[in-house]
Structure 1
């Protein structure tokens, strides 16, 4: 089962997520990482639970919650910790943490052991920790842990607990292979076929011709105000400024240009560019073998084909540029070797390089006069950026002291703009022609994150040289508009509602008639239903399971009905009702369908294994005894919800 860990490290999710969730064992339950990557700042030192004699601290539970939340938030960036907890996140993490500690404690109680050698072997087998030569690399291992704020001790403890899980839960796998006779009825159910009839009674046939009275309309509007409620809108006051606002404020002297030229003399001195063929292998021994064969007259291309690698080319590179791509040693070898000759192997950032300079070009030195304009532009850009950084710092100080958008805009020479009331998703209900430029979308996003009465804020717009000061000019709370403003929309909604009611009433009469042994065709004719024809519908349960997103709703309904019954199904947006009748249910046997029987057996086996594993862990908890400290858990819950003041 520890192979689950190795596969996770090899997956496209990458080593980072795998390190954090190194002990997830999907066979039994989702286990959260107790080592965490966030510090338990502000968490008390109480005991949240006790499994046998092993304590789970409040800090440990807090770290596990933070780790689980950070992973869920990657999939749902808008999720808050409060929402995560309210949706059961804390409870789920607590249960998983208890189970994880239970398995480890139970294993140790019954004499199971995980040696340092076993842990070392598992770590060595994780591909993410291997170097260029394919063997375990200690520096790669430690670097990966540092990137995730994990200590080696924490990671080793994760591996140790995972090995306990493997030893114990592998026992629950024994005998979980579902027998053929057990799989047969489930496999046969997949082959079940159903045939029926479908009629559609459209609401359009029952739309009232006359508008409702004012009294009826008012009553309908009051009962359906939520349908017409306009979400909260915010009018935003903002001012944009960027590097252009610094125009004329930055001056670069000739003396400064000359100094920059002297300080960067190597950039303008005479130089050489070379085009270099390179072959990269993982070890020095392999590189020496390649160089020896090349010295004997073999071409790099032929050698590369023979050993299963490729020759690549770096075109028109300088020595310093090539060094940044490879290493100083590789660049020195490439630029000190005669054109057409193979250089001695050197180690670079991707392995050992065997290189051959193919051609070169000399570049003359650039005098100050020829580059002064470019240097002036470089220094101007650099000074502008520095001034902009200083200015944004000053603006933040002024905002902290209560400065307004207008005051800041005046200081930076920017124009104050005010939007009409906008929806968070964009657009303005009261001004449909208004459109906030896409480049200013961060203004709207930030404004809806601010407190309605909060102070103005400084935000960045895309790149690092464009900013905006924003404030909330007005907030229109979510509310239904006056009836007069949406009267025609309400009238149309009332007509759709009345038409839908009439369509449903007729559909119900047809259904009741069919359920009294009348055919669907006769029932529709007897009730003068506005339908052109009855359509046959049919399918197998296998089609239903394989194409769930593409199966029409009436066909899905057909597989939840008893033979000979009739049911109704509303169409979207009050467009009418389906009348679905199941004529025939055909049961087919899967006894001769070996692939289906095998697939069904595997699915049932996994389900059995999960059930046995969950039952085994429950028995462990019963034997060890689990005591939870509800007051500590409630205290952590309040802190995570922001209610601990």
Structure 2
């Protein structure tokens, strides 16, 4: 079983299952108020309850949060996205939330409990909860919660839900295999061959001579206003808190001197001393050794009568810290205060009477204050300016916490505010094509479009140690069609393209209706523009080379029955195609076992998804799912009709 789980995380199916967890985290639906117990028949619950799943519920607030998260995700790809543009995601999101709650209710019903330790381990692996060292830190986790606008409880609920799906559903879908008898017919379909004809009617051939009147343009603009919508615009108030505000901050001479002294281990020279030492058991023995040394004997000769060998008295090179550990602070202090060649002692210690000789003093490295000053100044300037910036941020935040407006908070920090022209969420200005929103203030643009018009200003951090920025929306301009006068030339070209497309479609439809059992070449005779007719031959397996972007006429070739023809529009608005299928040649994969095997593998994901869906449906039936369709419809209408 454990091996199966390991394989799951690396397989295509495993990626799909793990994707469910990612979706839940991106959606981040709120998990509050899910413990209400439902009893009796029919649908009973609070007015905002959309679905009941056993003892769990999906509320209007859950879906509001789900769509809010989905909108935030969509705006990463399309900054002008709004709730209306993601309305199609409502039903899939609702089903995803229902499925997640179904697994929770199923696990609760049968006593499947996750340990807090397991949930903690998953939270510790969230990238945003890790510090610079790559390890989980509480500060990083709290910052992650603030950025995601979530609580610890919500994150734990989401992680628990994802783990339950992984542990309960994953074993059902692991190793889903399609038998050879199932895969062979599908493999044979891939070998199917088709031949026919394609006639192309170009739109461009009908553009010449189209000259719309003013009334034509007005009518077309009125009928297609959504096409010319200008996204919501906002005027943002911004005040940067950065190095510019603290450029005059410099350390004092005393601060530089204090830093040098406090870091003497870094800037001071390293001193070692070659030391010889004898520790006599009594003072008389120690005095005798000292007298012999002063009489001209070497330390080794002077210590020999007391029973010391050269190995006994050799201490070797020592730093003050090392010798302190060996001989004690009193002896080490005296030894490192003495000159080279001096003999010290006897000094009484806990071990006896110490006699020490300084054989040699060695010094290396070190910087004087003058030499170290530039790098100390650079370090202190960076630290002091960072502290000064943080102090400004504290003043601004304190003002905001006290209910200050944007101008008042900016004044509290002595900031210079600016006001942008009307901007879209992408940072462009419809009224000034040359305007570019400063790239270093990108967090302000994001927050400026997330805040409501009356919301409290926020302070965002800037990337690359750029400081901070205070931001608030000054004015919100709802999405609206661009004035016709400003886009008249564009509307004119769109009208011409529309008329040309209609005429090309009429001609293509005429050809399709006349072809019957004849050829497209015969049906195209007498056309007012040149119609290109070409033969086409292909096998279904060739469609895979287009990676899902199959040209419309080729896709139509494998849709029609033999002898049938149909009109299809070009994918790029280039014109219309009439496709006729003359012959279908069935495929036979019995002699191609490799293709059958590949088809088995490709069917594995579909089978796994089917198994997962069937198991989820079974869980729904087990725990009971009741939908309040009226509340669902009202919630969907309310949320998806919101502009932003």
| TM-score tier after normalising by the smaller chain length | 0.5 to 0.7
Q: Residue 547 of structure 1 aligns with which residue?
A: 546
Partners of 1:502 and 1:510 lie apart in 2 by 13
Question: Measured at CA, do residues 34 and 523 of structure 1 come closer, stay the same or move farther in structure 2, by a change above 3 Å?
Answer: closer
Q: Residue 450 of structure 2 aligns to a residue in which SS?
A: coil
What's 2:597 paired with? 598
- Please report how far the alpha carbon of residue 258 of structure 1 lies from its aligned counterpart in structure 2 after TM superposition: 1.9
Deviation at 1:163, TM superposition (A): 8.0
- Structure 1 CA distance for aligned equivalents of residues 165 and 476 of structure 2: 53
Gaps of 5+ in 2: 41-52, 125-135, 145-151, 272-361
Q: Give the conservation status (yes or no) of the 8 Å contact 2:444–2:471.
A: yes
Question: Does the CA-based 8 Å contact 1:496-1:574 persist in structure 2?
Answer: no
Post-superposition offset of 1:102: 4.5
Conserved 8 A contact 1:193-1:541: yes
In the other structure, the counterpart of 1:509 is 510
Structure 1 pair 105–178 and aligned structure 2 pair: CA distance change class (3 A): farther
Q: Which residue of 2 aligns with 1:450?
A: 451
Taking a change above 3 Å as real, the CA distance of residues 261 and 404 of structure 1, as seen in their structure-2 partners, is same
Q: Which residue of 2 aligns with 1:221?
A: 221
Partner residue in 1 for 2:33: 43
TM-aligned CA distance change 1:42 to 1:627, over 3 Å: closer
How far has the Cα of 1:503 moved from its partner? Answer: 0.8
Partners of 1:581 and 1:486 in 2: CA distance: 41
Distance 1:244-1:189 versus aligned 2 partners, 3 A rule: same
Q: 1:94 aligns with which of 75, 98, 102?
A: 98
Answer with 612-621 or 369-378: which moved more: 612-621
Give me the whole-angstrom Cα distance separating, in 1, the residues matched to 2:412 and 2:170. Answer: 66
Question: Do structure 1's residue 202 and structure 2's residue 202 form an aligned pair?
Answer: yes
1:429 corresponds in structure 2 to 430
Aligned residues: 503
Contact 2:241/2:393 (8 A) holds in 1: no
Bigger shift: residues 36-45 or 217-226? 36-45
Distance of 1:12 and 1:196 partners within structure 2 = 37
**Structure-1-length-normalised TM-score:** 0.62
Q: Which residue of 2 is the match for residue 581 of structure 1?
A: 580
Measured after TM superposition, the shift of residue 625 of structure 1 is: 6.3
Superposed displacement of residue 509, structure 1: 0.6
Contact 2:267–2:367, Cα closer than 8 Å, also in 1 = yes
- Please give the alpha-carbon distance, in whole angstroms, between the structure 1 residues aligned to 2:409 and 2:161: 54
Mean CA deviation greater in 208-217 or 484-493: 208-217
Residues 125-164 of structure 1 aligned to structure 2 (within 5 Å): none
| SS in structure 1 of the partner of residue 435 of structure 2 | coil
Please name the residue that 2:353 is paired with.
Answer: none
With normalisation by structure 2, the TM-score equals: 0.62
Aligned ranges 1:333-344 → 2 under 5 Å: none
Q: Which runs of 5+ in 1 are unaligned?
A: 109-113, 130-141, 273-360
CA deviations 1:501-545 (Å, max 9, x no partner) are: 11111111111111x2331112222223323x3233332211213
* Change in 2 beyond 3 A, CA 1:263/1:641: farther
CA-CA distance at 1:31 after TM superposition? 8.6
Instruction: Tell me the equivalent position of 1:466.
Output: 467
Distance 1:544 1:238, change over 3 A: same
RMSD in angstroms over aligned alpha carbons? 5.5
C-alpha spacing 1:442/1:505, structure 2 compared with 1 (3 Å): same
* Residues 173 and 612 in structure 2, CA contact (< 8 A), matched pair in contact too: yes
**1:568 positional shift:** 2.0
Partner of 1:236: 236
Cα 1:68–1:198, aligned 2, differ >3 Å: closer, same or farther?
same
Deviations 1:615-635 (A, max 9, x none): 57766776x66476979x99x
* Closer/same/farther in 2, CA of residues 476 and 611 from structure 1, 3 Å limit: closer
Looking at structure 1, the residues matched to 32 and 623 of structure 2 have their Cα atoms a distance apart, in angstroms, of 29
Map 1:14-413 onto structure 2 (within 5 A).
42-43=32-33, 45-47=35-37, 57-58=55-56, 86-99=90-103, 102=106, 178-180=179-181, 182-207=182-207, 209=209, 211-248=211-248, 250-270=249-269, 364-401=365-402, 403=404, 405-406=406-407
Q: Measured at CA, do residues 413 and 628 of structure 1 come closer, stay the same or move farther in structure 2, by a change above 3 Å?
A: closer
Distance 1:271 1:90, change over 3 A: farther
Which moved further from structure 2: 549-558 or 261-270? 549-558
Maintained 8 Å contact 1:2/1:163: no
Q: Relative to 1, partners in 2 of residues 1:550 and 1:492: Cα closer, same or farther, differing over 3 Å?
A: closer
Q: Partners in 2 of 1:476 and 1:160 — Cα distance?
A: 44
Deviation at 1:581, TM superposition (A): 2.2
Alignment partners' CA distance in 2, 1:56 and 1:428: 51
1:432-451 per-position Cα deviation (integer Å, ceiling 9, x unaligned): 12222322333332222222
Give distance in 2, aligned partners of 1:475 and 1:89.
29
